[in-house]
Chains A and B, each alone.
Chain A
Amino acid sequence: DAGITQSPRYKITETGRQVTLMCHQTWSHSYMFWYRQDLGHGLRLIYYSAAADITDKGEVPDGYVVSRSKTENFPLTLESATRSQTSVYFCASTGGSNQPQHFGDGTRLSIL
């Protein structure tokens, strides 16, 4: 089925570990986004990508790394996880200008 999928849905890890969250979309959308959702802050943009091999920082990029070697995939890596990165992470995609973003169901990440 077409759509946007995130994996894993839940992840528990320890501080200092590297963890990668995966995002895959089947619409061939040009734009992809990573958000984190925390109580009282709504959705905050971490990184986004306008096309394969084109990425840019959002509002809260520190501690995160992204890559986009293929249009359909947009992985997010926490190189050395910290407790402050405990959050729910959402990936989204859109076809372009003034088009709605479509969200995955999120990854709940806990860092102990």
Chain B
Amino acid sequence: GENVEQHPSTLSVQEGDSAVIKCTYSDSASNYFPWYKQELGKGPQLIIDIRSNVGEKKDQRIAVTLNKTAKHFSLHITETQPEDSAVYFCAALVPGTASKLTFGTGTRLQVTL
């Protein structure tokens, strides 16, 4: 089955700096990759997603890049703010399924003042 690895497990950056979180997946047939942000006491919330027919997608300060050849995708957050502090999860659609996701183990991002 699909396996997703996520690095780093923790990340501390200063306010205004950029943060990058990387994920690799095992099944080259995966074609959908969402990213979720989870704040304390809440459920994961979708922040951005990318499909395999594009290499990059941006939404204001957030961007995701996809390298299908290397089977990895990354989340980039620019001009980080304290409210970006949370746990971030990457995921990949399990090939052959309409909706099953395999999740990475999460990255705890801390933005310090």
A→B interface (CB under 8 Å)? 31, 33, 40-45, 48, 50, 58, 90, 92, 94, 96-106
- For A92, list chain B residues within 8 Å (CB): 43
- For A105, list chain B residues within 8 Å (CB): 41-43
Total contacts A-B at CB 8 Å? 55
Bound Cα distance A40, B44 (Å): 16
When the two chains form their complex, are residues B46 and A100 in contact, meaning their CB atoms are under 8 A apart?
A: yes
Query: Closest chain A residue to B51 by CB distance?
Result: A98
A97-B99 contact given A40-B105, A42-B105, A43-B89, CB 8 Å threshold: yes
Contact with A along B60-104 (1 / 0, CB 8 A): 000000000000000000000000000001000100001111011
A42-B99 contact given A98-B93, A103-B44, A105-B41, CB 8 Å threshold: no
Q: How far is the CB of B71 from chain A (nearest CB, A)?
A: 18
